[in-house]
Amino acid sequence: MNRKGILVIVSGFSGVGKGTLVKRLTQKYDQYALSISATTRNPREGEEDGREYFFRTREEFGRLIREDRLVEYACYCGNYYGTPRDYVEAQMEQGRDIILEIELQGALKIKEQYPDALLLFVMPPDAQTLLTRLRGRGTETEEEIRTRIHRAVEESEGVEQYDYMVVNDDLERAVDEVHGLVEAQHRKISRHLDFISQIRQEVKAYAKGE
Ligand code: 5GP
């Protein structure tokens, strides 16, 4: 049976808690590999190069684009973010499900290149919870927060292009829901056509020989 890795895109408004959600998902189930993006934004307190992101200058990021080393990239609130190609391809070959925690434009570019990708959008239980979380984490200036809220409004217009929505009200529940959706994607008929055809042939051969 086909157990080829699935590309799982996890998007959501800034402050919705998608970082915590994907971290927990990878801790709880070992079939996942979390892609680490390259970005030109500055590290937040506590972030490390090569752990949360590969922090790069604009010049270095430009080189990654020219050398075709990113599967996709996008500009988000004045900074560039992109998914490294090498890692994604290597993990897919090994049959692992790869989590890409990326924004809308990148998600749509991935869907064009990999139509089997699963696009999930994480929603807050309500708008107020989102604003409280975004302000409460204290990692952005007031101006950055405003830019991110405007970006959330833009992204909200694209949610219909995703496959499923997960509400992040209770972390463990949301993690299990994401895992359930990935497992359902693994069982799609279109992913098992060879296996189905093999069983069909075997049953037919048996029926003939009866
Ligand atoms: P943050 O600055 O809060 O870490 O990330 C800002 C936004 O960029 C988030 O929506 C995050 O999902 C997105 N992002 C992170 N890495 C990538 C990437 O490689 N590609 C794209 N398109 N978006 C990314």
At residue 93, the pLDDT reads 85
Split at pLDDT 50, 70, 90, the class of 132 is very high
pLDDT, tens digit, 9 for 90 and up, residues 25-38: 999 999 999 999 99
Ligand 1 nearest-atom number relative to CA 13: 10
At residue 139, the pLDDT reads 85
Task: Tell me the whole-structure pTM to 2 decimals.
Answer: 0.94
pLDDT, tens digit, 9 for 90 and up, residues 85-126: 999 989 988 989 999 999 999 999 999 999 999 999 999 999
- Give the number of other Cβ atoms within 10 Å of residue 62's Cβ: 13
Q: Within 6 Å (CB) of ligand 1, which residues are found?
A: 14, 37, 41, 72, 74, 76, 81-83, 101-103, 105-106
Return the structure tokens found at 116: 């089997």
Between CA 99 and CA 135 the distance in angstroms is: 26
Q: With a cut of 80, say whether residue 210 has pLDDT above it.
A: no
The CATH code belonging to domain 7-35+96-207 is 3.40.50.300
Between CA 87 and CA 75 the distance in angstroms is: 21
Q: Are strands 79-84 and 70-76 parallel, antiparallel or unpaired?
A: antiparallel
Average pLDDT, the chain: 95
User: Higher model confidence: residue 139 or residue 40?
Assistant: 40
The pick from 81, 113, 140 for probing ligand 1's pocket by mutation, whose C-beta has the most ligand atoms within 8 angstroms, reads 81
